[in-house]
């Protein structure tokens, strides 16, 4: 059988792949290894079409010099990021958060007579993670006990943040959510599940690129940071950069929660691992 090559389709040369890969890596941390060249090629083809450009070389120069380049960079990001998430993702970590981390932060803050907890969900995608955090805290009546809770949800993608602000989800996003939480914190409208006002009022959303120190510097005094399932797309160099930024945003002794399969081993010594029953989190030293 012959495979006929579509010669009308623009081709991404190795040289232009490296230029585009380095530009993307520098701006947002995501790193396309050589084996992912075809993935990047496919994802960017849509952007070439969107800008009516004939080659990947033209697209590269567009990103460098065109007056519309910043707008296009946002479009590019939307086309390459992976937004997979769900409510109550990785339950053992959430158990560690609820039973270990939150009580430890409360004890420490109580000694300082500061009854407030600041939490950052640092690559929150469509909002399931920050809303899950809010529901867990509501379940433990933290606000009723006189605590002020603020949860910041941020992401590099404006598209996912718009969806988070809407707070409307399909049943599939709730696949790991215990029934008790569904009945208490969502209202059901047709096939959709809408997050209640009580939950929403604990969370605010902002666009933040974790690679940009000018943006991350605006987030300070965080007691707990969730940065789950984003560093897997970065290489060690950009992981270190982001971890330095997160370190600066945490209070002394603050906690960092990475994705279940992510580790700081051989990346940085800025944090020490802390073990809970079925998960490991990190603490600022
Ligand atoms: C797989 S989702 C993870 C969502 C959630 N934290 C979870 O674990 O379910 C990864 C998110 O990271 C975001 N992201 C990628 N690069 C980023 C960057 N440089 N700054 C901020 N967010 C970024 C993507 O837009 C995407 O929404």
- Evaluate if residue 107 carries a pLDDT over 90: yes
Distance 210 CA to ligand 1 centre (A): 9
Q: Check: CATH 3.40.50.150 for 91-284?
A: yes
- For atom 3 of ligand 1, which residue has the closest CA? 229
pTM of the model: 0.94
CA-based nearest residue to 203, from 140, 127, 255, 145: 127
Q: What is the pLDDT of residue 144?
A: 87
Q: Return the residue whose CA atom lies nearest to atom 27 of ligand 1.
A: 125
Residue 190, pLDDT score? 86
Query: Rounded to 5 degrees, what are φ and ψ at 198?
Result: -55, -40
Instruction: Note whether 127 and 164 are within 8 A (CB).
Output: yes
Q: Which CATH class is domain 14-80?
A: mainly alpha
Q: What residue segments make up the domains of the chain, in order of their start? A: 14-80, 91-284
Query: How far from the centroid of its chain's Cα atoms is residue 247's Cα?
Result: 16
Instruction: Ligand 1, residue 226: give the atom nearest the CA.
Output: 6
Q: Using one digit for the tens of pLDDT, what is the confidence trace for 211-269?
A: 999 999 999 999 999 999 999 999 999 999 999 999 999 999 999 999 999 999 999 99
Say what the pLDDT of residue 189 is.
Answer: 83
> Across the chain, what does the average pLDDT equal?
95
Pocket test for ligand 1, best of 94, 156, 174 (most atoms within 8 A of CB): 156
> Using one digit for the tens of pLDDT, what is the confidence trace for 39-66?
999 999 999 999 999 999 999 999 999 9
Query: Binning pLDDT at 50, 70 and 90, where does residue 8 land?
Result: confident
Cα–Cα distance between 242 and 131 in angstroms, integer?
A: 23
83-92 pLDDT per residue, tens:
999 999 999 9
Residues with CB under 6 A from ligand 1: 28-30, 81-85, 89, 123-125, 129, 155-157, 160, 209-211, 228-230, 259
- Total residues found in the chain within this entry: 285
Q: Which atom of ligand 1 is nearest to the CA of 209?
A: 20
Rounded to a whole number of angstroms, the CA Rg of the chain reads 21
208-217 residues labelled b (16+ CB within 10 A) or e (exposed): bbbbeeebbe
In whole angstroms, what is the distance from residue 272 CA to residue 268 CA?
9
């Amino acid at each position: 059988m012959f495979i006929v090559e579509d010669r009308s389709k623009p081709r991404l040369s190795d040289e232009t792949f490296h230029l585009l890969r380095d530009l993307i890596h520098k701006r947002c941390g995501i790193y396309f290894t050589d084996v992912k060249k075809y993935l990047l090629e496919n994802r960017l083809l849509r952007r070439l079409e969107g800008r009516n450009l004939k080659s990947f070389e033209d697209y590269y120069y567009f990103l460098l010099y065109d007056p519309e380049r910043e707008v296009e960079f946002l479009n590019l990001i939307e086309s390459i990021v992976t937004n997979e998430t769900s409510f109550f993702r990785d339950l053992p970590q959430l158990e560690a958060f609820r039973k270990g981390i939150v009580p430890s932060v409360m004890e420490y803050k109580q000694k300082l007579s500061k009854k407030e907890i600041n939490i950052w969900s640092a690559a929150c995608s469509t909002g399931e993670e920050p809303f899950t955090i809010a529901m867990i805290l509501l379940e433990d009546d933290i606000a009723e006990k006189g605590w002020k809770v603020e949860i910041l949800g941020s992401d590099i993608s404006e598209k996912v943040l718009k969806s988070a602000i809407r707070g409307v989800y399909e049943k599939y996003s709730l696949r790991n959510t215990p029934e008790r939480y569904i009945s208490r914190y969502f209202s059901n409208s047709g096939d959709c599940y809408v997050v209640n006002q009580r939950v929403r009022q604990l969370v605010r959303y902002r666009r933040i690129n974790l690679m940009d120190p000018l943006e991350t510097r605006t987030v300070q005094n965080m007691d707990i940071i969730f940065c789950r399932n984003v560093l897997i797309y970065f290489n060690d160099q950009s992981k270190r950069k982001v971890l330095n930024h997160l370190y600066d945003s945490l209070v002394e002794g603050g906690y960092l929660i990475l994705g279940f399969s992510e580790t700081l081993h051989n990346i940085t010594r800025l944090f020490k691992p802390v073990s809970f029953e079925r998960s490991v989190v990190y603490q600022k030293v």
